[in-house]
Amino acid sequence: MSETTNQTPVQASSSRKYIILLATVFGLVIAVLLFFYWKQKQDMQEMVDVLNFEKEQLQDEYEDLSIQFDGYQQLDIRNDSLQERLAVEQQRVHDLLEELRITKVTNARRIAELKKELATVRAVMVTYVHQIDSLNRTNARLTEENDNYRRQNREIQQQNTQLQTENTHLAETVTRASMLEITSFEAVMLNKRDKKTRMFSQIQKMEFHFTVGKNITCPPGLKKVYMRLSRPDGELMLKSGNRTFLFENEQIDYSIVQEIEYAGEEISGVMYWPVEEILQKGTYRADFFIDSQLVGTYTFNLKK
């Protein structure tokens, strides 16, 4: 014989309320847990975003610093030691940048260390920049001084050139001022009795009268007057033997020479040319030289 337990309506209603209460409480707990999970996930995402932003910003700063090092390496620093140190720091920045790129954003400790490394490298960079600026100022000053020296040297050279030119002109002026001059000339044809003749066939000797003009600036003393006598065909009339004198750094032939005692005053002289060749009709030329200078040129005609 079985025994059956029956619940009263009041008891059944109480059980349902309890179950509903438990379900409600359980649902609230689940909702709270889900809320906290969502909130934690959101906070974690925000933290990751912040770390990503900081990493990207740090990476940009490293890249900017690397570009600055590249720029300084392009400068003409003219200091091997400083240039080598710049190259070492540039490589250091490059290595740290590569490490930063492969470092996970969640590795906050290493990123913080890399941030400190960046500050250290920047401080070193500032030191090098000051040194470079100092060198540039020094180089600029030296360049300016060199430019001034070169300009002064050019001015001195120009002054020396001008002075040499002036001295040359002065020397030429003094030379011209002291140069003697044949102021008069006459050619006389003589026969065998040393008498003047107009007969072409009777000419046995040529007599040349000349006058050296007054010049008190010319040093006094014995002077040799050289004459070069040229025929109408341009050939120089010469006697046998080596008869030369210095003119423009060359030894040239002369026809006749006459020595005079010059004292600054006008003086006259006479030269003779014995006719031993067959004369030509036409214009003859007589060039006079004293002290290696051409001092006069005259012509005369012989007619048959």
14-23, 114-123, 164-173, 252-261, range with the lowest pLDDT: 164-173
Closest by CA position to 296, among listed 185, 142, 164: 185
Q: Does residue 140 lie within any of the structural domains?
A: no
Residue 164 lies in a domain: no
Q: How many CB atoms lie within 10 A of CB 87?
A: 13
Closest by CA position to 288, among listed 299, 274, 303, 301: 299
How many whole angstroms separate alpha carbon 101 and alpha carbon 180? 98
- Distance (Å, rounded) from C-alpha 213 to C-alpha 263? 11
148-196, pLDDT tens digit by residue?
A: 888 888 888 888 888 787 776 655 655 666 789 999 999 999 999 999 9
Positions of E strands within the chain: 182-190, 205-212, 221-230, 244-247, 250-253, 256-262, 267-274, 282-290, 293-302
Confidence of residue 287 (pLDDT cuts 50, 70, 90): very high
Residues 121, 195: one domain? Answer: no
Q: Which of the four pLDDT bands, split at 50, 70 and 90, describes residue 125? A: confident
**Residue 71 domain flag:** yes
Grade residue 1 by pLDDT with cuts at 50, 70 and 90. Answer: very low
Average pLDDT over the chain, rounded to whole? Answer: 82
Provide the pLDDT for residue 136. Answer: 67
Say yes or no to pLDDT of 2 above 60.
no
User: Containing domain of residue 50, as a range?
Assistant: 16-135
Q: Give the span between the Cα atoms of 293 and 226, in whole angstroms.
A: 10
Provide CB contacts within 8 A for 58, sequence distance 6+. 100, 111, 114, 115, 118
Q: Does residue 10 form part of some domain?
A: no
